[in-house]
Amino acid sequence: MTFDGGNGLISSARAHFVLVPMMAQGHTIPMTDMARLLAEHGAQVSFITTPGNASRLAGFATDVETAGLAVRLVELRFPSAEFGLPDGCENIDMIQSMGLFVNFMEACAALREPLMAHLREQQPSPPSCIISDMMHWWTGDIARELHIPRLTFTGFCGFSSLVRHILSQNNLLENITHENELITIPGFPTQLELPKAKLPGSLTIPGMDKIGKKMIEEELKCDGEILNSFQELETLYIESFEQVRRKKVWTIGPMCLCHRDSNTMALRGNNSSMDEAQCLRWLDSMKTGSVIFVSFGSLAATTPQQLVELGLGLEASKKPFIWVIKAGAKFPEVEEWLADGFQERVKNRCMIIRGWAPQVMILWHQAIGGFVTHCGWNSTIEGICAGMPMITWPHFAEQFLNEKLVVDVLKTGLEVGVKGVTQWGNEQQEVMVTRNAVETAVCTLMGEGEAAEELRMRAKDYAIKARRAFGEEGSSYNNVRLLIQEMGKKTNACG
């Protein structure tokens, strides 16, 4: 018999979840939160990774160990060389050209045998359930062989998940040749229309067709879906998604709320590229709600021209800001431009972070009053939890849908007005947002006008709702418990 972390008796065998995240920051990070969350609620977790990714997860590993949580990191050797990838290329953010994406996906699929072998050894505590990133379609075979349920995690919110489902079920993108052709999403509960290029799935990666089909097939076969969202945020879309999927959709988010202190927040995803204490000191010295935080996630590669335009817009706004820049070695001209007067001109009100920022730690600091985001779902939900009004600046994938949710449904953000898509791996030289647009958006959001006040009020309200959903007896809290109970029962029935 085991107890669920002191909260009561759950079952005679502890539910054992196997988490298989895609190796990309935006996919792995929420799954580290998921691992922590499941373990805090009394489950046992095996977290599948590779040696190269495990080094980024060192902070997470220490953190769960210190907290005494039943989370085990399982390292499987990643067959980079066998699939024509450079040695050590074990994460999507390390892929140097789009031509290697399929190689990467095939190398992932080759983890099937070693993972199967590992899971077969897990006696007498066999896994109860696999929670797999949708991109790891091959985990479907493992779940069937072991006779255990497989739940899918896409990392999307309910709104975007529903659009993605409708698009794929109706093959809506297939016969449309023009990138700018408007597509109305049929059967969506509210009116929604976007050009093809701004919809997920519009990016054509050589050789990905077959793999994409397998991903969708396996998703349709899976036993349920996990969403990093909460019922009260997007009820209509979550319910519609559950109806069309005809399977249980478990909303257990916002999972980032499992972090309660700045130490664990700072360890999220990777080692920060700056001293966190110094960052906190700087933030402590700023007025409440005065600083705007600008960050475009882990993959979006903003071009040098666009970065300069953004920097000049921030300068012209005269507001304090933290700007995360990932151009690094890829665009040395950005560094030259920063050093050539820009940094000097803004030095009293700006902090530039080159590389990895402790994003949640920053967002949740009282000095931050607004967030310029690329609308990756993790960043968006982290912003929602922080009660942040946002300036939306989507680049690619489902980010344009998340923008619609934030701006049109939640009404907690305003669009900066990007002209087009900055496709991952195929960045154009074109400037999508002018310095004037940046200045106007920042001044509006951080200003005292009525519209900004309303955005701030609504944003605060959603942050409260998020905490209620995640907190004891909230909708997400109850869902985590039910999920563990349900999977625990299956373990007992099998055992």
| Closer to ligand UDP by Cβ: residue 337 or 377 | 377
Q: In angstroms, give the least distance from the CB of 423 to ligand UDP.
A: 13
Q: In angstroms, give the least distance from the CB of 326 to ligand UDP.
A: 7
The side-by-side arrangement of strands in the sheet containing 150-153 is: 71-75, 44-49, 16-20, 129-133, 150-153, 224-227, 249-251
Tally of CA atoms within 13 A in the half-sphere of 408 that contains its CB: 11
Q: In angstroms, give the least distance from the CB of 35 to ligand UDP.
A: 14
Binding to ligand UDP by CB under 6 A, coded x per residue (else -) over 418-457, reads ----------------------------------------
Binding to ligand UDP by CB under 6 A, coded x per residue (else -) over 217-256, reads ----------------------------------------
Neighbours of 243 (CB within 10 A): 10
Q: Residue 154, interface with ligand UDP (CB under 6 A)?
A: no
Q: Residue 269, interface with ligand UDP (CB under 6 A)?
A: yes
Collapsing DSSP to helix, strand or coil, 398 comes out as: coil
Interface with ligand UDP by CB under 6 A: which range of 78-86, 378-386, 431-439, 451-459? 378-386
Q: Residue 98: what residue type? A: M
Q: Which residue is closest to ligand UDP by CB?
A: 26
Q: What one-character DSSP code corresponds to residue 23?
A: S
Interface with ligand UDP by CB under 6 A: which range of 39-47, 200-208, 354-362, 442-450? 354-362
Q: In angstroms, give the least distance from the CB of 28 to ligand UDP.
A: 9
Name the token pair of 232.
């009260």
The residue behind tokens 């998604």 is: 241
Within 8 A by CB and 6+ apart from 282, the residues are 351
Query: How far is it, in rounded angstroms, from Cα 53 to Cα 91?
Result: 7
Q: Residue 402, interface with ligand UDP (CB under 6 A)?
A: no
Q: Residue 378, interface with ligand UDP (CB under 6 A)?
A: yes
Contact present, 85 and 100 (Cβ < 8 Å): yes
Q: Residue 297, interface with ligand UDP (CB under 6 A)?
A: yes
Kindly state the helix (H) or strand (E) to which residue 479 belongs, with its residue range. helix 475-494
Q: In angstroms, give the least distance from the CB of 480 to ligand UDP.
A: 19
Contact present, 83 and 54 (Cβ < 8 Å): no
Query: How far is it, in rounded angstroms, from Cα 231 to Cα 274?
Result: 36
Phi-psi region of 171 (alpha: psi -120 to 50; beta: other; left: phi over 0): left
Within 8 A by CB and 6+ apart from 204, the residues are none
Interface with ligand UDP by CB under 6 A: which range of 79-87, 180-188, 308-316, 375-383? 375-383
Q: In angstroms, give the least distance from the CB of 201 to ligand UDP.
A: 16
- Report 8-37 residues binding ligand UDP (CB under 6 A): 25-26, 29
Name the token pair of 362.
């920053």
Q: In angstroms, give the least distance from the CB of 203 to ligand UDP.
A: 13
Query: How far is it, in rounded angstroms, from Cα 231 to Cα 211?
Result: 31
Query: How far is it, in rounded angstroms, from Cα 375 to Cα 398?
Result: 8
Total of chain residues touching ligand UDP, rule CB under 6 A: 20
Q: Residue 59, interface with ligand UDP (CB under 6 A)?
A: no
Q: Which of 480, 463, 285 is nearest to 383 (CA)?
A: 463
Q: Residue 357, interface with ligand UDP (CB under 6 A)?
A: yes
Interface with ligand UDP by CB under 6 A: which range of 40-48, 57-65, 193-201, 373-381? 373-381
Binding site for ligand UDP (CB under 6 A): 25-26, 29, 268-269, 295, 297-300, 324, 356-357, 359-360, 376-379, 382
